Structure 1
Amino acid sequence: MKKKAVELFCGVGGVTESLKRHYNIRCSIEMDPIIARSYAANHGDDHLTITDINKLDSGWWEDFKSKEKSIDLLVSTPPCQGFSAYNRNRNKEFDSRNNLVFHTNTVANILQPKFIFFENVVGFTKHPYFKIFLNKLQNLDSEGNKINKNLPSYQIRFSVVNAADYGVPQNRKRIILIAKKIESFPSSESVLSLNSSNIQVSGAHEIWPDSNEKVTLGEYLSKFKISKLSAGERDSVDHLHTTMNLSLKNLKRIEMTPHNGGTKSSWEEDLLLPSQLKNNNNFKDVYGRMDYSKQSPTITTGCITLSKGRFGHPIENRAISLREAALIQTFPLNYCFYGDLKSGPNMGSKVNIAMQIGNAVPVKLAAAFIEKISKY
């Protein structure tokens, strides 16, 4: 029998794609009904709970525990916008989204899983909540005994990783944490040094995947038959292979941008934005092309919009399509997304689908860690 897992903030299912191969997923939580529709299309809805996690109190989780008895793995990938480098208020504690990380602690204290897999943006490690989060997970005093004897204690290992080191054709840095439940006390495992800005762990566990040889964008996408498109066009067979339309001026901009990594530095002056005229290095990657010989930049929620980053196609005169963005996130070619609650598969709001893709954990990144945990 497969071991059992619970998934908080499941999103469109980037972690689930690997998780379901090794675990019987007993519960997945997602608040947004459109995202939940995409999730259900790929993973079913028998274990899916569509609700705001803030509405699931301790009593709900206690009832869940009484039915399931034990859980082997808790997966938590809370929304990261509150800690993102793009959020001007990221160092202020009042951002309500930041509090979502502590649902990891709340659920872990009740279900007491054997392992926890946690993912977030690098900015979380620089926020005051990070130390609080680690202290709550560890639950050990200086002598290695539980601070709160009714709650579990965990041996911790965390690191900033690049998805490109795990088979993803994309430079995407994230904080990954794996926590392993401590069974005997006093414990000398996973001793945290939290008094300085440089948080260190001594006695970290050994559960960590080896990095792989990096794959370029061109090498990865060459595995798939992707038809050529013009800006604003949709493939007649794969409806997710669709692109945003471009104004005549933006079309001229991409036409003047050299293939494979070109930037706005090659534009004629009349194509530059006023801010770019003042400082030609301002927002250097905006309107740039990806490069087949390298990894792509981080796929964000604006990944199909030419003006929101280096999201120009390497050689075609358009931004990348939704399908190409999903493939760069290493979703399978047949993965299905919904843009609203009424349209058919891979149809509806392109903006909504791009948000789902950009916020997801890359499938191959999650797979490397989930497979390693499952062996224990």
Structure 2
Amino acid sequence: MKFSAIDLFSGAGGVSEALKKHFDIKCAVEFDKIIATTYALNHGNNHLLVKDIRKIKKKEWSKINKQLNGGNLDLLVATPPCQGFSRHSRKKSGVNIDDRNKLIMEVIKVANIFQPNYILFENVDNIVNFKIFHTFLSVLTNLNADGSRKHSNRPSYHLRFEVVNAVNYGVPQHRKRLILLGKKIKTFPNMEAIIQETPKGLPYVTKPLSLWPEKKKALTLREYLLPFKLSSLEAGGSDANDKLHRCRNLFPNNLLRIKSTPWNGGSRSDWKDSNLVLECHKKKNVSFSDVYGRMNFESYAPTITCGCLSYSKGRFGHPEEDRAISMREAALIQTFPISYKFTGKLDGKPYEGSSENIATQIGNAVPVKLAQTFVDLIYNKLLKESQQELLLEHLVATKA
């Protein structure tokens, strides 16, 4: 039995990859044309809207709504741009100067149109410090202080949101993200779902939604990658049989640096030649200690970012080979299947075009296994609710 879903800010399609097992994706929205091309390579484009979500008119949403044949959307997924909420953003948390931050309110607009039974939302952990996120929670909950509905024509949601580490949900990577689950409230008043604030101004739900998956520790990086039997590479090398398994070349000084870095977790603090150390790193209390480091096969990868192909932008050195990780390794660490296609070109040729563009798609994606954990949880809940409704209808018909 398949349920209905919409995937907002779909990116390269990591969440859709998780959805398609149990859900009929009625619509996916992606603004960037090249990223949307990657999405289409893997999921088709019949349901894909390549548009700024702010410019999608109500008529277009209504056409999609008609596909539900009078029923409600089962699941709305939203993974809006996170850069403006990142800890690396120079803007103060309380001030939402970054225009992209306002995009989270578009989720509310779509929720009000489709009134989905469940909502799944993902973003960076730092989003909780932004006032616009507090507003988002309050509007999505749509409850007065007495638990009654504020606006009778809009749905209300019982929420739960937590910062999770992807490594606890089958992803061989330390990646902290805020996950929010919402379930449509059907009975009022509801005092449990009201949003409140701590003395420090952080939002919380009076009694969070009980729906949440159990943790399942990921395999180590070695255990996870070993079955894929990836070929060894030199810096700047590529695999003739796997076009995504290619890595950047290294300047001579960076090649010396990685050769001076011990296998499996070594860092720049291990260098014995002080000439290899950048002047800016010789100062005390310098941050970004992971740059020029190696990953560790016996542990987990660091957060895969848009700069994951660069040895100088994080702990993106290969655990045992003298090079940075390849695009294929980055995609696998993000738990995309090995068959997943990426493109950096508008013409849609797989594995061709800008490596930086592909790295951005990979780094910005929700890890597939992380998404799968929460999607499966919601699917099983929907299935149980559907079976209960059918049983109730059967009992009523029998009595009649």
TM > 0.5 between the two? Answer: yes
Letter in 1 for 2:264: N
1:100-127 CA-partner distances (Å, limit 9, x unpaired)? 1111111001110000000000111111
1:182-230 CA-partner distances (Å, limit 9, x unpaired)? 0121223322213642322233222211000232111111121100001
Letter in 2 for 1:100: L
1:224-244 CA-partner distances (Å, limit 9, x unpaired)? 110000111110000000001
How far off its partner does 1:350 sit? 0.5
Corresponding residue for residue 199 of structure 1: 203
Mapping for residues 9-88 of structure 1, pairs under 5 Å: 9-68=9-68, 69=70, 70-88=72-90
CA–CA distance in structure 2, aligned partners of residues 255 and 195 of structure 1: 50
CA–CA distance in structure 1, aligned partners of residues 57 and 121 of structure 2: 21
CA–CA distance in structure 2, aligned partners of residues 258 and 158 of structure 1: 39
Corresponding residue for residue 184 of structure 1: 187
CA–CA distance in structure 2, aligned partners of residues 113 and 123 of structure 1: 26
Corresponding residue for residue 330 of structure 1: 335
Which structure would you say has the larger Rg? 2
Corresponding residue for residue 145 of structure 1: 148
Equivalent pairs, count: 376
Corresponding residue for residue 391 of structure 2: none
CA–CA distance in structure 1, aligned partners of residues 151 and 363 of structure 2: 38
1:316-343 CA-partner distances (Å, limit 9, x unpaired)? 0000000000000000011110011246
Letter in 2 for 1:133: F
How far off its partner does 1:274 sit? 1.3
CA–CA distance in structure 1, aligned partners of residues 220 and 137 of structure 2: 35
* Same amino acid, percent of matched pairs: 49
Q: Secondary structure at the match of 1:375?
A: helix
Equivalent residues of 1:83, 1:90 under 8 A apart: no
Are residues 77 and 343 of structure 1, via their aligned partners in 2, closer, same or farther at CA, if it must alter by over 3 Å?
Answer: closer
Gaps of 5+ in 1: none
Q: Secondary structure at the match of 1:240?
A: strand
Corresponding residue for residue 7 of structure 1: 7
Mapping for residues 269-280 of structure 1, pairs under 5 Å: 269-279=274-284
Letter in 1 for 2:167: A
Q: Secondary structure at the match of 1:15?
A: helix
Corresponding residue for residue 248 of structure 1: 252
> Is 301-310 or 197-206 further displaced after alignment?
197-206
Corresponding residue for residue 94 of structure 1: 97
TM-score by length of structure 2 reads 0.91
Equivalent residues of 1:82, 1:90 under 8 A apart: no
User: Does structure 1 residue 226 correspond to structure 2 residue 230?
Assistant: yes
TM-score by length of structure 1 reads 0.97
State the Cα RMSD in Å: 1.4
Are residues 365 and 296 of structure 1, via their aligned partners in 2, closer, same or farther at CA, if it must alter by over 3 Å?
Answer: same
Q: Secondary structure at the match of 1:214?
A: coil
CA–CA distance in structure 2, aligned partners of residues 135 and 64 of structure 1: 27
